[in-house]
């Protein structure tokens, strides 16, 4: 299992660069919530969930926050 957060945060940087600051901030807040509430660790294989589960949780947070 691979930690997808670096790729997801690259999207945050792209959104910010494109002037989509609100969307980027929403994505960043979702990532922070998932890290705080769901992940056991940041290392691949030690997250406590699969790569897909991490991505799904972030998507769910965005859907519910936005």
The pLDDT-based confidence of 51 (bands split at 50, 70, 90) is very high
Q: Give the chain's domain count.
A: 1
- Give the model's confidence band at 44: pLDDT under 50 very low, under 70 low, under 90 confident, else very high: confident
Q: How far apart are CA 50 and CA 41, in angstroms?
A: 12
The tokens describing 54, both together, are 């991490």
Q: What is the mean pLDDT of residues 37-60?
A: 92
User: What pTM was computed for the model?
Assistant: 0.89
What are the backbone dihedrals phi and psi of residue 45, each rounded to the nearest 5 degrees, phi first? 85, -10
Q: How far is CA 51 from CA 19, 35, 48, 58, in A?
A: 28, 13, 10, 11
Q: What is the pLDDT of residues 13-43, one digit of tens each?
A: 999 999 999 999 999 999 999 999 999 998 8
DSSP 33-59: HHHHHT-S-SSTT-SSS-HHHHHHHHH
Q: Give the residue numbers spanning the domain of 32.
A: 5-65
């Amino acid at each position: 299992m691979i930690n997808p957060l670096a790729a997801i945060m690259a999207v945050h940087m792209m959104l910010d660069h494109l002037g989509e600051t609100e969307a980027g901030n929403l994505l960043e807040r979702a990532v922070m919530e998932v890290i705080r509430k769901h992940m056991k660790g940041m290392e691949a294989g030690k997250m406590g969930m699969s790569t897909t589960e991490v991505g799904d949780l972030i998507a769910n947070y965005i859907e519910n926050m936005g």
